[in-house]
């Protein structure tokens, strides 16, 4: 199921950079200069807020909050019910 989601997002134009050590393998300034949006994601299912600059800005979300809503949107039928895929 994960690969299906990755494929859908890739088809929508999202480029994934995985297993990258930001600041070592890839310069974050290069990423920022060449993208419309940048998501740094780490693997955890329970959110933990971080005291980082800009955390309070609009558009900053916990990953699981976003992914759950996005998955529901992808599975939503035209009549408003959730399909099983």
User: Which pLDDT tens digit goes with each residue over 49-62?
Assistant: 889 899 889 888 88
DSSP 4: H
pLDDT in tens, 19-36: 888 888 888 898 889 888
Taking Cα atoms as reference points, which of 32, 41, 31 lies closest to residue 66? 41
Task: Please report which helix (H) or strand (E) contains residue 40, including its range.
Answer: none
pTM to 2 decimal places:
0.42
Q: In this structure, what token pair is assigned to residue 57?
A: 């800005």
Q: What is the mean pLDDT of the chain?
A: 81
Judge whether 83 and 77 are in contact, CB under 8 Å. yes
């Amino acid at each position: 199921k994960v690969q299906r989601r990755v494929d859908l997002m890739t088809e929508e134009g999202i480029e994934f950079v995985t297993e990258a050590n930001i600041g070592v393998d890839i310069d974050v300034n290069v990423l920022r200069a060449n993208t419309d949006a940048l998501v740094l994601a780490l693997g955890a299912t329970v959110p933990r807020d971080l005291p980082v600059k800009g955390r309070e800005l609009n558009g900053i979300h916990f990953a699981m909050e976003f992914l759950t809503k996005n998955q529901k949107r992808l599975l939503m039928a035209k009549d408003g019910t959730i399909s099983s895929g």
